[in-house]
Chains A and B, each alone.
Chain A
Amino acid sequence: MALKKIGKQTVRLEAPPSIIATSSIVGPKEGQGPLAQYFDTILSDDLCGQKSYEKAECKMAMDSADKAISKAGIQKEVIDYMLSGDLLNQIITSSYTAREMGIPYFGLYGACSTMAESLSLGSMLIDGGYGDYILCMTSSHFSSAERQYRFPLEQGTQRPPTAQWTVTGAGAAILSREGNGPYVTHVTTGRVIDMGIKDANNMGAAMSPAAADTIVQHFKDTGFEPKDYDIIATGDLAAVGKELADDLIKKQGYDISNVFTDCGIEIYDSKKQDVHAGGSGCGCSAVVFCGYFYDMLAKGLINRILMVSTGALMSPTSSQQGESIPGIAHAVTIERMV
């Protein structure tokens, strides 16, 4: 009998771990967005002085990890595990970052759901008594993702209005067994849901059924209601997907529209910045959480947030073979006080 599990998919952490520090680093475009003031570092050049965009992404991830560690005021040697994932094939950003860090490392792949996935697993490791400090991080880079999933940068293609813009950014959070919060109190692990959407230019629509499923299940498992939350934030559903998810959740009898937002919508100014439906990528929910939401929690502007990172689990190969896009969403409840 699993003592800490409540309901079908949720874990209630007995000794909620504290997020003692976060850091965020973003590219120039994100730095022109409305959340600019919340990010630790805004790059002026998204090549980061490196030779390739893959190396640049790695540098970004390294810097954000270092920054989070120094903000936490700890030595990296005391960190028990590093949990990290990214979008590139064989999660090279994470593994090459781990190579430099020298911390015991679990590589994760949850596409853009990685931030919540790493926080979920990290919290469970701490609550289980397997570590004192855990580094949870993820990153994405527009230019490295674009050429892997879509087209070369200089190819003259048109993006449809449902397309999303991969966020260039890396976020890192340090979980600790002891600390003054904010605390991770609940973890709802998502199921893979596929409603048969095949259009890789409409990822929000592919992921929103998974987001709706996880959010509704979270309410059922915990007994929370939408009004218990100050913010319910999905990762990167963007404009189209958020509206769809809102409707799907309403159909199940929960109205979250008052507290519902999406990191992909928050990060860019959709009127001034040419991003079509909004942002996407692992970095999207990572930097919006580690920058914006964490700041609001720390300042006491909000008390409880449900962070629902959403991921699309397809690859260029599966797309070319005509497979539809499976979605996943992981949710973590983060509270200022327990």
Chain B
Amino acid sequence: MLMDYISAFVVGGIICVIGQILIDKTQLTPARILVIFVTSGVILTALGIYEPIVKIGKAGATVPLPGFGYALAKGVMKEVTEKGLIGAFTGGVKGAAGGIAAAITFGYIMSIIFNAKTKK
């Protein structure tokens, strides 16, 4: 149990440090960082590299954005296996559907309820 938390902390922390180095060294904007991380999550999963990281890091690998890519890639490969060619188009979104729908819905609700506050 405790091991779960430690490995999630360490693996998640390392993924974020990679992002921090990219931000400070290359002046990439957060949007580009997120795009890079999702896409590399998809590619690394397809190459079979990300699965072992998820095995070790658990939430530490699925909560950061490459984990979103992991869900997309895992979903698409599963669906292709089960349904064939059509799965290439439906599987990815299916795999990440929960996160996407939640992000849009909660995002909408929160932005209706709350207002942006100025910085001090």
Q: Are A153 and B23 in contact (CB under 8 A)?
A: no
Question: Could you list 11 examples of A-B contacts with CB < 8 Å?
Answer: A28-B120, A46-B118, A47-B118, A142-B118, A146-B119, A151-B30, A152-B116, A153-B117, A153-B119, A154-B116, A199-B27
Chain A interface residue number, banded: 10 to 19
What 1/0 flags go to A296-321 for Cβ under 8 Å of B? 00000000000000000000000000
**Distance from A139 Cβ to chain B, minimum over Cβ atoms (Å):** 16
With a CB–CB cut-off of 8 A, which chain B residues contact A330? none
CA distance A24 to B47 in the complex (A): 62
Question: Assuming A153-B117, A154-B116, A199-B27, what are 8 further A-B pairs, CB within 8 angstroms?
Answer: A142-B118, A143-B119, A151-B30, A152-B116, A153-B116, A154-B117, A158-B23, A160-B24
With a CB–CB cut-off of 8 A, which chain B residues contact A158? 23
CA distance A154 to B120 in the complex (A): 12
Residue total for B at the interface (Cβ-Cβ under 8 A) = 9
Q: Are A142 and B119 in contact (CB under 8 A)?
A: yes
Chain B residues with a Cβ under 8 A of chain A? 23-24, 27, 30, 116-120
The secondary structure that dominates the B interface is loop
**Residue ID in chain B nearest A46 by CB atoms:** B118
CA distance A132 to B27 in the complex (A): 50
With a CB–CB cut-off of 8 A, which chain A residues contact B118? 46-47, 53, 142-143, 153
Q: Are B30 and A157 in contact (CB under 8 A)?
A: yes
CA distance A143 to B24 in the complex (A): 24
With a CB–CB cut-off of 8 A, which chain A residues contact B116? 143, 152-154
Q: Are B27 and A155 in contact (CB under 8 A)?
A: no
With a CB–CB cut-off of 8 A, which chain A residues contact B30? 151, 155, 157
With a CB–CB cut-off of 8 A, which chain B residues contact A46? 118
With a CB–CB cut-off of 8 A, which chain A residues contact B117? 153-154
CA distance A29 to B30 in the complex (A): 27
**Distance from A317 Cβ to chain B, minimum over Cβ atoms (Å):** 15
